[in-house]
């Protein structure tokens, strides 16, 4: 009986880990982005003035860890991402305003198949602001 319980438990864990595994395409994308920084530049119509529009920074695993949006006058918004070390999914995002002060904190819950289940949005003081629930409908 203990052996059967162990086998069932092992199968359950294996299925959960398989659902969390990344596709070969996603792994290939991440490999190309290891330690990458992408800068997007804008230029006015006269091609005289140029400014940074967007900056994305990826870590050694190819995961986006920071994105900054700019306009001609400076930073508009900055977002940082934290990943779960086991599942490698985004578990927390922090959004900063133009003065680099925390504007919003997002935390995520996932379904067993790896899709997002809920997004919790918190104010800078830690108070829960809103909850977003993801629903997936497949049409045949």
Q: Give the model's pLDDT for residue 3.
A: 41
Output the pTM of the full model.
0.76
Question: Does 84 score more than 90 pLDDT?
Answer: yes
What are the pLDDT digits (tens) for 89-118? Answer: 999 999 999 999 999 999 999 999 989 999
Cβ neighbours, 10 Å, residue 74: 10
60: tokens are 């050694």
Phi and psi based region of residue 127 (left: phi greater than 0; alpha: psi -120 to 50; beta: remaining): beta
Strand, helix or coil for residue 88: coil
């Amino acid at each position: 009986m203990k052996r059967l319980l162990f086998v069932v438990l092992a199968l359950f864990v294996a299925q959960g880990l398989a659902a969390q595994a990344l596709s070969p395409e996603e792994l290939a994308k991440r490999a190309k982005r290891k330690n990458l920084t992408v800068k997007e530049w804008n230029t006015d119509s006269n091609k005289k003035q140029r400014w940074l529009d967007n900056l994305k920074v990826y870590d050694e695993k190819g995961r986006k860890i920071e994105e900054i949006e700019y306009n001609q006058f400076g930073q508009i918004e900055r977002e940082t991402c934290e990943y779960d070390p086991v599942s490698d999914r985004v578990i927390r995002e922090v959004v900063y305003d133009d003065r680099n002060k925390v504007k919003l904190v997002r935390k995520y819950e996932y379904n067993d198949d790896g899709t997002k289940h809920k997004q919790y949005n918190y104010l800078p003081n830690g108070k829960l602001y809103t909850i977003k629930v993801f629903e997936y409908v497949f049409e045949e």
